[in-house]
Structure 1
Amino acid sequence: MSLNLLTSIAVDELPPKLEEMVTVKNTDSIPTVFKTLSKHGILSVPVLNEQNRPIGLVDYVDIVNCVVQIINHTDLLGNDYYSFLEREDLFNHTYASYVTDLSQRNPFIPVVKGASLLEAITIMTKNKINRVPVIDNNLNGDGAAIVNLITQSAILSYIGKNIESLGKWALKPIKELGFKEKKVISIDFNKRALDAFELMASHRVNGVAVNDEKGHIIANISARDLKELLNETRVFENLYLSVGEFISKVRQQDYKAVNPSISCHMNDSLASIITRMVAAKIHRVYIIDEERKPIGVISIHDILNKILEHINNLTIKPMQ
């Protein structure tokens, strides 16, 4: 049963278990935060103050918001990216304390070590957040310390490996489970990558669909794509490439080579979509029609919310 699946494991037991919690200081510069995220292959990192107490989280979407703000505020929106690149001081003097939850997507709402996975999912869905810090109040006697960071991706991976626990319910088509068509935030492949990141910033999302000239979905561009360019000597010059060129450079493949994992149909089962997302390590799939045009999107948040709704229905029915 899905309820046992989520109540039988504590948040601090969810793989991958961290040997050491990665953090940054509130006085660290944006380049330092950027390098920390990329070095450890993570999408978010807790920020600590001078007393080593957590004050919040920073992720790639926050950095995207910072980049967009700096470009807008310095009137460097044209093709004058060379002068923009020469202004490294703008980033070196922007600190983690400023960028913390700049996107307003990562409020610091922790769970205590030993809490169930169900509690973490409930907090995520209720507050519409992508990750929950796990704190230990007894560590070193110096107050609460972060011992883990539970992400939606890690939870979905755990569910995917135990997909049979969701039972026949998960084998139903997503249309039957109540997933509906909704407006998809998208961008044309020939627009600038910078335009795509501005779109993410304005809508407070971490990814948008990429369409070809016929409106067919051909790719997805996300905030975490920035990390692949860290080793470039002129990282932000790539923001002025077209979306198609940017994706090709970041992923070292032709953007026209459509990844079937990023799309699904209304008749696909929830179980098949979860399995596909876990295997491809993606955060969303786009619902497409028969002409391959996007008519909706399903995020990990949507899936967890639907599972929680299903569990609540199971617990209410026996009481009626």
Structure 2
Amino acid sequence: MAFNLLSNITVDELRNSPKSKDMITVRNTDSIPTVFKTLSKNGILSVPVLNEQNRPIGLVDYVDIVNCVVQIINHTDLLGNDYYSFLEREDLFNHTYASYVTDLSQRNPFIPVVKGASLLEAITVMTKNQINRVPVIENNVNGEGAQIVNLITQSAILSYLGKNIEQLGKWSLKSIKDLGFKEKKVISIDFNKRALEAFELMANNKVNGIAVNDEKGHIIANISARDLKELLNETRVFENLYLSVGEFISKVRQQDYKAVNPSISCHMNDSLANIITRMVAANIHRVYIIDEERKPIGVISIHDILNIILENINNNVPPTNKPMQ
């Protein structure tokens, strides 16, 4: 059933993904503040980068910007006790360009599919290369080369799965434990640490989100690269990086970080279908598996969900119908 659900829809039909007429782009010569403002102003997590011939050379997202921020701070010895010395050097970002930041995180390579490809093909490319989004391209009729006409994101795919959850099949009603999900180390940070340290952890571990724990090691929140989009203001853009993680979350989300959102956690006996439904409703990219003491013992990302779906398809579709790897 999952095979039919994903192979019978093309990437052009997927909703919640930007189409060519709505496609926001930046130039390879645009500065990091310009890219940052483009992402924030348009409420998007990633943007294609075009060269002088208007051809795509890659993608930039908040994870790449996190890596850029961390690199500049560390390479210029700006990691002081306050943010004022850092703000005095914000000019550094004005001389750092989109062409440099493109896939700086090494998690955002430009690996496209062609217009008309099935969603199953896009998911296969996404999971094989461990990427968060897949550009859709077509050759320009005027001979100007390939152009981006769509951008398939993990969130759009998850939303589609959530709306068609019953078509995944009865296997999705199994618990995540029965489906083979196991306990694993969770990258986390204490809520009293500085927000900047949280983003350093993301950059060093090449992830786009980590758990936030209280003094007892209980998970109370999640902080991700996309939270950077809430930092934008007219002056002192990076001031919030020097807040504690707890203060940062409270400020950017306008809620008490101690008010635990139950949607960010699950248990081993929860079904995959239930987790997908909750993630779609809460618009989140990962949930943390917790034990009886509410301590994180694992994490499930959209990548993990797409991987288990492909595994189920490959195990149940006759060899002649298997998608190409």
Structure 1 position 261, deviation (Å): 0.4
Identity in percent: 87
Is residue 98 from structure 1 mapped to residue 94 from structure 2 by the alignment? no
Partner of 1:176: 178
**Which runs of 5 or more residues in structure 2 are unaligned?**
none
Report 1:275-314 matches (<5 A): 275-314=277-316
Cα 1:139/1:287, change in 2 over 3 Å: farther
Partner of 1:5: 5
Partner of 2:112: 110
Report 1:108-147 matches (<5 A): 108-147=110-149
Cα separation, 1, equivalents of 2:187 and 2:226: 17
Structure 1 position 232, deviation (Å): 5.4
Cα separation, 2, equivalents of 1:208 and 1:139: 44
Structure 1 position 140, deviation (Å): 3.9
Structure 1 position 316, deviation (Å): 4.0
Cα 1:109/1:259, change in 2 over 3 Å: same
Equivalent of residue 187 in structure 1, options 186, 189, 196? 189
Cα separation, 1, equivalents of 2:316 and 2:13: 25
Cα separation, 1, equivalents of 2:10 and 2:25: 22
User: Structure 2: which amino acid aligns with 1:8?
Assistant: N
Structure 1 position 137, deviation (Å): 1.3
Cα separation, 2, equivalents of 1:312 and 1:149: 25
Cα 1:288/1:146, change in 2 over 3 Å: same
**Which runs of 5 or more residues in structure 1 are unaligned?**
none
Structure 1 position 91, deviation (Å): 0.5
Report if the CA contact (8 A) 2:79-2:86 is conserved: no
Structure 1 position 12, deviation (Å): 1.5
Q: Give a deviation string over 1:74-112, Cα, whole Å, max 9, x none.
A: 111121421210212101000000000000001110000
Report if the CA contact (8 A) 1:187-1:210 is conserved: yes
Cα separation, 2, equivalents of 1:48 and 1:23: 7
Equivalent of residue 226 in structure 1, options 222, 225, 228? 228
Structure 1 position 138, deviation (Å): 3.6
Q: Give a deviation string over 1:115-166, Cα, whole Å, max 9, x none.
A: 0000000001111111000001144431100011101111010011000001
CA RMSD of aligned residues (A): 1.3
Partner of 2:34: 32
Cα separation, 2, equivalents of 1:57 and 1:242: 30
Secondary structure in structure 2 of the residue aligned to 1:235 = coil
Q: Give a deviation string over 1:31-63, Cα, whole Å, max 9, x none.
A: 000011111111001101111111111000000
User: Structure 2: which amino acid aligns with 1:36?
Assistant: T
Aligned pair count reads 319
Is residue 65 from structure 1 mapped to residue 60 from structure 2 by the alignment? no
Structure 1 position 270, deviation (Å): 0.3
The more displaced of 17-26 and 222-231 is 17-26
Partner of 1:43: 45
Report if the CA contact (8 A) 1:29-1:94 is conserved: yes
Cα separation, 2, equivalents of 1:167 and 1:251: 36
Normalised to the residue count of structure 2, the TM-score between the two structures is 0.96
User: Structure 1: which amino acid aligns with 2:177?
Assistant: K
Normalised to the residue count of structure 1, the TM-score between the two structures is 0.97
Cα 1:273/1:232, change in 2 over 3 Å: farther
Is residue 244 from structure 1 mapped to residue 256 from structure 2 by the alignment? no
